[in-house]
Structure 1
């Protein structure tokens, strides 16, 4: 059941906060490891970035730093805690689908979040999740 869903703009704002934070933090990690702030080739920075979005919501009740700052979090439709399988579906499988559709899936997802009453996107449907303003404990 979807309670208190978060819409497009707040989700976009959370993504921007995460992007700024990770650019700064991983930029300095890149300076330390590769002597470059922006590492162009596939590197450990890309793996750390993926792990941030994959694991942090599991350990922090659906939050990333950007989501926490924005007052929103990822929750499962069935009220269970997020797990690795859920986050793999949400991030990796959905990412592959977005890649296969040449980004059209991302655009469709943005419209879904903006126009649907439950504010769920393609990756939310794949993983059985939604983004909510409710704090942990309402459904977990």
Structure 2
């Protein structure tokens, strides 16, 4: 059940923040280390992939940009995304976007803007959605 879905503009803001974080960091480190443009682009791409793939798995569906915007990725059942879901969401959807020459990206943007549940193509593939709902607080002292 989709609860409190995040719309187009907040998701775009979170993606811009994430892009600035990764690309800015790579640019600064690359300049300090002396990477040429091609190497910097390769490192940037790899870090963006790993960041988008792994951080939500280990941080309750958040990336830094999503956390700053108060949104996160969750599974349709409300649970946190696992590595399988994130592989579908990032890698498989990225391939779909690539082979459609970006047309699927435009379709996804319209889906997030106009669908009631605000789910895009990559959300459909991974059975996820983006929400304002915070993760459930876990009490380490509570018995199971």
Q: What TM-score comes out, normalization by structure 2 length?
A: 0.88
Paired positions, count: 136
Alpha carbons of structure 1 residues 35 and 44: separation in structure 2 relative to 1, 3 Å: closer
> In the aligned structure 2, how far is the partner of 1:95 from the partner of 1:49?
12
Give the gaps of 5 or more residues in structure 2: 138-144
> In the aligned structure 1, how far is the partner of 2:46 from the partner of 2:86?
15
* Partner SS, residue 35 of structure 1: coil
Matching residue of 1:40: 38
Matching residue of 2:124: 125
Coordinate RMSD, CA, aligned: 1.5
Matching residue of 1:21: 21
* Partner SS, residue 51 of structure 2: helix
8 Å CA contact retained: 1:98, 1:104? yes
8 Å CA contact retained: 1:29, 1:45? no
Give the gaps of 5 or more residues in structure 1: none
8 Å CA contact retained: 1:30, 1:45? no
